[in-house]
Structure 1
Amino acid sequence: MSLRSCETAGDEQPAAGWARIEQFGAGYRQKHYQPKTSTTPDRRTTLNPVPYRRQLSTMATTISAEQTEKAFQKQPIFQNSKIKSAGKKVASKDRRWYKDVGLGFKTPAEAINGTYIDKKCPFTGEVSIRGRILTGVVVSTKMTRTIIIRREYLHYIPKYSRYEKRHQNMAVHCSPAFRVEIGDQVTVGQCRPLSKTVRFNVLRVQKSKSSALAKQFGKF
């Protein structure tokens, strides 16, 4: 065998080896890296086209709207009928207790005809209104049955004989009888301490035409 034939044979051997390696790699990738397809359908996507996480959030919202407390919610009154009569039942609305807070504030219709239970409500609970009556603008409704109102006022500076604008945020209890939004003007009355920071209760809500009014300064 000549030297030229040896060089040609040496060049063909590595090429054949690389071909076998490429062939093995292609088969390995096809076997191990091919996406797996399951024959069983996913119930989370086939039963309802709505995304599964959105379904869970909707379910949680629906459940929380009805009741979040574990204990049975009732008013502190006698729930049963006092006279036992055959064939006559006492309607639930007849067992509803509410009161008039006085001071010219009208009891909402939701407090009379509604079914909510709130022991801190001034109309259906054992909370009496006494003390100061204030007004403010709603700036936050993120808490449960508690809102943040903003009270703006003018503070007099004797040194300069001028007034400066100031504001104060207050946490007040809001009964489920009211539906408040950001920008609404509310009238609150002082009551006993309901929590660490809550000492007032919403008595009246005046709907706002625009939520942008919450950003404007208005003296109370």
Structure 2
Amino acid sequence: MAIGLNVTEPEEPCSDQNCPFHGSLAVRGQTLEGTVASTAMEKTVVVEREYDVRVPKYDRYMKRRSRIPAHAPPCLGLAEGDQVRIAETRPLSKTKSHVVVEILGGDE
């Protein structure tokens, strides 16, 4: 089942209703890339993104990071340190509004 993004579909099937490939979850809106920082929660990963913010007073840049909770379908088999692409979806819980759609690479 195509999800409307140019991503490769996982080979392994799953029975998760919130899987964009094998369930009924629709993806929409923005797609982001980041690193999996935590896999401690069940069916949830925390994706961390680093970006630079300009500090006008010192005319320099400082690093900031954002941590985004995302749904992890079991068919993807995610691990900490993986580079992933996440897509926006409807709210799945109080904090989750994204789902992992692709693994871009391993530990970097």
Shorter-chain TM range is: over 0.9
Residue in structure 1 matched with residue 6 of structure 2 by the alignment: 104
Quote the offset at 1:138 in angstroms. Answer: 0.7
Q: What's the TM-score once normalised by structure 2's chain length?
A: 0.92
Residue in structure 2 matched with residue 122 of structure 1 by the alignment: 20
Quote the offset at 1:125 in angstroms. Answer: 1.6
Q: What's the TM-score once normalised by structure 1's chain length?
A: 0.47
Structure 2 counterpart of 1:174, one-letter code:
A
Larger Rg: 1
CA separation in 1, counterparts of 2:105 and 2:34? 12
CA separation in 2, counterparts of 1:123 and 1:103? 11
Does 2:79 correspond to 1:181?
yes
Quote the offset at 1:207 in angstroms. Answer: 3.2
CA separation in 2, counterparts of 1:145 and 1:153? 26
Residue in structure 2 matched with residue 16 of structure 1 by the alignment: none
Map 1:76-115 onto structure 2 (within 5 A).
99-110=1-12, 114=13
Question: Which of residues 31, 56, 61 in structure 2 aligns to 1:133?
Answer: 31
Map 1:33-44 onto structure 2 (within 5 A).
none
Deviations 1:130-175, CA, capped at 9 Å, x for gaps: 1111011011111111001111100112222211100111110011
Deviations 1:108-136, CA, capped at 9 Å, x for gaps: 111xxx2x311111111221111111011
Q: Which has the higher helix share?
A: 1
CA contact (8 A) 1:100 1:106 kept: no
Map 1:9-20 onto structure 2 (within 5 A).
none
What's the % identity of the aligned pairs? 38
Deviations 1:158-198, CA, capped at 9 Å, x for gaps: 22221110011111001111011111100000000000000
Residue in structure 2 matched with residue 149 of structure 1 by the alignment: 47
Q: 3-state SS of the aligned residue for 1:123? A: coil
Q: 3-state SS of the aligned residue for 2:94? A: coil
Deviations 1:2-54, CA, capped at 9 Å, x for gaps: xxxxxxxxxxxxxxxxxxxxxxxxxxxxxxxxxxxxxxxxxxxxxxxxxxxxx
Does 2:96 correspond to 1:198?
yes
The gaps in structure 2 that reach 5 residues or longer are none
- Which portions of structure 1, spanning 4 or more consecutive aligned residues, are displaced by more than 3 angstroms? none
CA contact (8 A) 1:101 1:122 kept: yes
Over the aligned positions, Cα root-mean-square deviation in angstroms equals: 1.2
| Matched positions, count | 108
